[in-house]
Structure 1
Amino acid sequence: MNQEKSTQLLSPDEHFSVLLSSTPRGARLARLLATEWMRTREVPHGVTEAAEHLVAELAANAATHGRLPGRDFRLVLRMQGEALRIEVTDTRGDDLPRRRPSVPDAESGRGLLLVEALADRWGVQTGPVPRKTVWAELDLPNP
């Protein structure tokens, strides 16, 4: 089964967008595709490493909390000036991400703490209904 629904490379240097199934397999594919896109753009290693973790977390959240049967999520990577922007859009605009109290033995619930720790900026944008986009930005080092 092909997990990649549609791929669109709008600007080879600045923008990548892909629609993926809202499954753990789709989330893993998001990370692999992001890693390859950053490698071919020669994104600095430290930024790539943080971005891989951010993509993995945001895609896993979309596949877990943003999942509706038959609906996909979109991963967008964009070079914006001095930053790499990661966007993950799902179809659960009614379920916005929020930090939950951390329980020491819990197997989940720390994702937004990771996003806050790794990203220079992050946020949520709602719409158009029924979508929401969770985004994170990483500053690029000056050459």
Structure 2
Amino acid sequence: MTSNAGTDSTATTQLTTPTHHFTMRFSSTPRGARLARRLCGERLDSWGIPYGSEVHDVLTLITAELCANAVRHGNVPGRDFHLQLTADATSTVRIEVTDTRGERLPTPTPADPEADRTDGRGLLLVAALADLWGWCPRADGPGKTVWALLTIPAVPDR
């Protein structure tokens, strides 16, 4: 996936907040993508990122776009897509969506898509909202994983 080459080795190893993980497989259908988005929202809320907050809405939108792309562009009949969410001690949330179609790779979207098009803006939204995004070949078989990172800003003490 990605390397941690830039990690600061002087940082403390004790976690100040727990690390959270969620992973699930969904059918490669619009219904599967909707369910993935809803479960993402519920999981984020249970992790302390409340419904209605800007961060919750952004993370849910990124997840929805990546899942919709997996269904639309990564669908192989009879094969599911996987969603994995990870929140670490540095308040970074990583969203990974894996499908089984390796020959259809994400391509950068033009900064100004044609006005009359009703599609083709999903990755443009992901690029605008996420701190970083990319893709890599699937580790355990054919396909690819598209991922996005978002660092949650610290909330000042009241």
| CA RMSD in angstroms, aligned pairs only | 1.5
Bigger fraction of residues in strand:
1
Asked whether 1:74 is paired with 2:85, we answer no
- Of the candidates 2, 8, 31, which is equivalent to residue 37 of structure 2? 31
Residues 58-108 of structure 1, C-alpha deviations (whole Å, 9 max, x = no match): 000000000010000000000123200000000011111013441210110
Q: Distance in 1 between matches of 2:48 and 2:64?
A: 20
The residue that corresponds to 2:62 in the other structure is 54
Q: Distance in 1 between matches of 2:102 and 2:88?
A: 25
Q: What secondary structure does 2:85 align onto?
A: strand
Q: Distance in 2 between matches of 1:81 and 1:63?
A: 31
- Of the candidates 91, 100, 104, which is equivalent to residue 95 of structure 1? 104
Report which of the two structures shows the higher radius of gyration computed on alpha carbons. Answer: 2
Residues 5-53 of structure 1, C-alpha deviations (whole Å, 9 max, x = no match): xxxxxxx951000100000000000100000000111125222110010
- Of the candidates 120, 128, 131, which is equivalent to residue 131 of structure 2? 120
The residue that corresponds to 2:10 in the other structure is none
The residue that corresponds to 1:64 in the other structure is 72
Percent of matched pairs sharing the same residue: 51
98-107 or 85-94, which deviates more: 98-107
Residue type at the aligned position of 1:85: R
Contact 1:94 1:130 in 2 (8 A): no
Provide structure 1 residue ranges, at least 5 long, that are not aligned to the other structure.
1-11
Contact 1:120 1:137 in 2 (8 A): yes
What TM-score results when the alignment is normalised by the length of structure 2?
0.79
The residue that corresponds to 1:135 in the other structure is 147
Q: What secondary structure does 1:61 align onto?
A: helix
Provide structure 2 residue ranges, at least 5 long, that are not aligned to the other structure.
1-17
Residue type at the aligned position of 2:153: P
Contact 1:13 1:41 in 2 (8 A): no
Residue type at the aligned position of 1:108: D
What TM-score results when the alignment is normalised by the length of structure 1?
0.87
Contact 2:109 2:124 in 1 (8 A): no
Give the Å deviation of 1:141: 1.7
Structure 1 consecutive aligned stretches of length 4 or more whose deviation exceeds 4 Å: none
